Structure 1
Amino acid sequence: MSWSFPIARIFGSEIRIHVTFLLLLAWIGIAYYQQGGAPAAVEGILFILALFACVVAHEFGHVLTARRYGIRTPDITLLPIGGVARLERMPERPGQEIVVALAGPAVNVAIAVVLILILGARVDLAAMEQIESPSVDFMARLAAVNIFIALFNLIPAFPMDGGRVLRALLALRYSRTEATNMAARVGQALAFVFGFVGLIAGNPLLIFIAIFVYLAATAEAQTTSLVDVSRSLGVADAMITQFQPLGPGATIGDAAEQLLHTTQHEFPIVDGAGRIRGLLTRTAMIHALNKTGPGTPALEAMVEVPSVPLHSRLDGAIERLQGGAAPAVAVVDAEGRLAGYLTPENIGELMMIQAAGGLKKRVRRATGPLLPQ
């Protein structure tokens, strides 16, 4: 996620902090300082840090449970509204998805139980209503906020935890795509409710949550539809085949000329045998022009990209595209020559074509690109 930076790695997952989280800490510190001076400001910041430690524990409930089903989690990003664990995929079996979804709230319930039964925190209605007040006992507030996190995440607003449980239950009767679309519509409807309540109550955080839930529900539904479509297609049905490659001796200046005379935004760099060396993106090209000039070898600014066989299924290529930071996936023929490549943009175009009228599966005979002179 952009505007975030790593701070730690736990159980193989990178913990990242979004810059807006630091703004939240600053805002809490200032607000508490105005209420009770420096001691209150320190306590307020410590409470927020403790709260987000519980959020990280919540996310690791999902992470470690998903790992039981062979699903990795590259990173977890902390935002002002909570944490976002980027799982490689969600389990497609309804039972497994329910277990993974409920694991997070279960961690918060366990933390609250420990704080109440072992550490003696006393949680009552006042603690629940005044979580932000420094006058309420620290442990009581922390226990109350964990109960709140568990209950809030169980609201069936897809793609929150409760929404994922709803999707899994619907998937017992409907296809996964239909279940996702239905759960997404419920999530979008609840997002409107959150936004309306936030406007009436003057709560900007609730409005922000509403926007996040609405956009996330829409994106999740689109992603599920994409996976469903891609299972019936091969990479040859979606790859870009008309492109101008660059040779290994090309410079940034050569690429800039091609950028002006073609519609390409990225340029594969291939050797004399047509095998791909890497990909030069428009962003990397402009950066190199500004930093080292047009004489810079294109090889120095390229990025390596994963490759898939020409006759492989499209869903596997999309998984490679979504699972890493590469801007494209190369498609190679039996001799290892570049036959085409896939980008998020042309995958999006495929989805628009499918939505407009469908795309019949077809078989292409790959001849490879024109080799650079």
Structure 2
Amino acid sequence: MSWSFPIGRLFGSEIRIHVTFFLLLAWIGIAHYQMGGTAAAIDGILFILAIFACVVAHEFGHALVARRYGIKTPDITLLPIGGLARLERMPEKPGEEILVALAGPAVNIVFAFILIVFLGAAVDPQALAELEDPSVSFLARLAAVNLFIAIFNLIPAFPMDGGRVLRAILATRMNRVKATETAARIGQALAFGFGFLGLFGNPILLFIAIFIYLAATAEAQSVGIQDVARGVRVRDAMITQFEALSPNASIGEAADLLLKTTQHEFPVVDGGGRLRGVLTRKALIEALGKEGREAPVVEAMARNIPAVPSHAWLSDALKRLQDGSVPAVGVNEGGVTVAGMTEGGRFVGYVTAENIGELMMIRSATGEPAAAPAGGRGPLLPQ
């Protein structure tokens, strides 16, 4: 996630903090200092850090259960409104998705149980209503917050935990795409409700409403794309008309092509027709500003671009895009296919997230499977 930076790794996942989290800490510190001086400011900051430690544990609850089903969690990001675990994917079996979704709230319930039963925290409505009051027991406030996190996350507002449980239950009665669309609509309706309540003086609810609405929309689109990709071959969706760069080309030559074409990325292809890397528009502009026109493209291009055979399903290419965080997936003809990847062979095209999105728009407009027309002038490879 942009505007975030790593602070460490745990159980194979990178923990990241969004820069806006420090704005929250500063705001809490200043507000508490004005109420009770240095001691209150320290108490407020420590309490927020304790809350977010519980949030991290909540996200690791999801991550560790997902790991049981072979799903990795590349990173967990702390935001002012909570945490976000980026799982490679959610389990498609309803039972597994329910367990992954409930694991997070379960961690908070366990924390609250320990604080109340073993550490003597007394929880009452006052503890939750007066979280900023240092005169209320630190442990009581922390126990109350853990109970609140668990209950709030179980609200059936997709893609929150409760919404994912709802989607999984719906998926036992209808296909996954329809279940996701239904759960997303419910989540969006609840988001409007949170937003309305937020207008009466609670800005946090407004942020939560916006997050839920956008995340529900994105999740529904993602599941729809995955469903389409399972029924389309890579050769029917790949980009076959493009300008390619030689490994000996300069940044200046790439800049000239950027002006002459509408491409956002340029494959770097050697004389044998093999893909060496991909130069993105962003990397091109950065290299042009730092290194100048004479710098070689091989120093700015993205390397280790995965490749799939043209007869593979588009879902294979989509998975490579999502798992590797790469700008494109190459498509090769010939060569040897190992574990879904093509080794060797001639580069004939590539797939990007943008052109998969265009495929979705075509299908949405026509209501029919969208396949790229056969033929065409083919890739313009360097001579």
User: Shorter-chain TM-score: what band?
Assistant: over 0.9
Residue of structure 1 equivalent to 2:379: 369
Aligned-pair CA distance for 1:168? 0.4
Q: 3-state DSSP class of the match of 2:199?
A: helix
Measured after TM superposition, the shift of residue 289 of structure 1 is 1.0
Alignment of 1:207 with 2:210, yes or no, is no
Q: Distance in 2 between matches of 1:243 and 1:33?
A: 60
State the match for 1:6 in structure 2. 6
Alignment check: 8 A CA contact 1:4 1:18 kept: yes
**For residue 363 of structure 2, what is the aligned residue in structure 1?**
354
**Native 8 Å contact 2:241 2:377 kept in 1:** no
After the TM superposition, which residues 192-271 of structure 1 pair with which residues of structure 2 at under 5 Å, given as runs? 192-200=192-200, 202-271=201-270
C-alpha distance after superposition, 1:244-272 (max 9, x if no partner): 11111100011111111111111101110
Alignment partners' CA distance in 2, 1:270 and 1:86: 33
The residue aligned with 1:29 is 29
* Counterpart contact for 1:310–1:334, Cα < 8 Å: no
Hey, what does 1:155 align to over in structure 2?
155
Summarize deviations over 1:196-243 as a string: whole Å, max 9, x none: 01102x100100000000000000000000011110001111111000
Q: Is the 8 A contact 2:32 2:132 kept in 1?
A: no
Give 1:228's aligned amino acid. D
For residues 158 and 21 of structure 1, the distance between their equivalents in structure 2, rounded to whole angstroms, comes to: 24
Partner of 1:321: 321
Counterparts of 1:332-347 in structure 2, within 5 Å, are 332-335=332-335, 336-347=345-356
**In structure 1, C-alpha distance between the alignment counterparts of 2:310 and 2:65, rounded to whole Å:** 35
Equivalents in 2 of 1:34, 1:362: separation in Å?
64
Aligned-partner residue type, residue 278 of structure 2: L
1: CA distance, partners of 2:68 / 2:377: 43
Shift of 1:39: 0.8
Distance 2:377 2:313 in 1: 19
Once the two structures are superposed, residues 51-88 of structure 1 have per-residue CA deviations (whole angstroms, 9 ceiling, x without a partner) of 00000000010000000011000000000010000000
Number of aligned pairs?
372
Larger deviation: 261-270 or 46-55? 261-270
Decide whether aligned partners of structure 1 residues 367 and 69 sit closer, same or farther in structure 2, where only a CA change above 3 A counts: farther
Identity %: 68
Aligned equivalent of 2:281: 282
Tell me, in whole angstroms, the C-alpha distance in 2 between the residues paired with 1:332 and 1:229. Answer: 22
Given that 1:306 and 1:329 are in contact with CA atoms closer than 8 Å, whether structure 2 keeps it comes out as yes
One-letter amino acid of the counterpart of residue 283, structure 1? K
Q: Which amino acid aligns with 1:231?
A: R
Alpha-carbon distance between aligned partners in 2 of 1:109 and 1:183, rounded to the nearest angstrom? 25
Distance 1:310 1:364, change over 3 A: farther
- Residue 233 of structure 2 aligns with an amino acid whose one-letter code is G
Runs of 5+ unmatched residues, structure 1 = none
Q: 1:18 to 1:360 in 2, by over 3 A?
A: closer
Work out whether residues 332 and 347 of structure 2, in 8 Å CA contact, stay in contact via their aligned partners in 1: yes
Offset at residue 361 of structure 1 (A): 5.1
Identify the residue that residue 179 of structure 1 maps to in structure 2.
179
Output the CA distance in 1 between the equivalents of 2:41 and 2:33.
Answer: 5
1:132 aligns to what SS in structure 2?
A: coil
SS at match of 1:308: strand
| 2-structure distance, mates of 1:273, 1:363 | 26
Does residue 66 of the first structure (1) align with residue 75 of the second (2)?
A: no
Give the CA deviation at 1:132.
2.5
CA distance 1:303–1:151, change in 2 (3 Å): same
Tell which deviates more after alignment, 6-15 or 118-127: 118-127
Residues 274, 369 of structure 1: 8 Å contact kept: no
Mapping of residues 44-193 of structure 1, within 5 Å: 44-193=44-193
Structure-1 separation of matches of 2:99 and 2:82: 20
**SS of equivalent residue, structure 1 residue 341:** strand
Query: Which amino acid in structure 1 is aligned with residue 296 of structure 2?
Result: P
Contact 1:333 1:366 in 2 (8 A): no
Q: TM-score, normalised by structure 1?
A: 0.97
Q: Aligned AA for 1:211?
A: I
Structure 2: runs of 5 or more not aligned: 336-344
Cα distance in 1 between the residues matched to 2:332 and 2:172: 39
Q: Is the 8 A contact 1:330 1:340 kept in 2?
A: yes
Question: Is the partner of 1:264 in helix, strand or coil?
Answer: coil
Deviation at 1:368, TM superposition (A): 6.3
Q: Distance in 1 between matches of 2:157 and 2:64?
A: 23
Aligned-residue CA RMSD in angstroms?
Answer: 1.4
- Residue pair 1:91, 1:97 contacting (<8 A) in 2 also: yes
Aligned partner of residue 84 in structure 1, secondary structure: strand
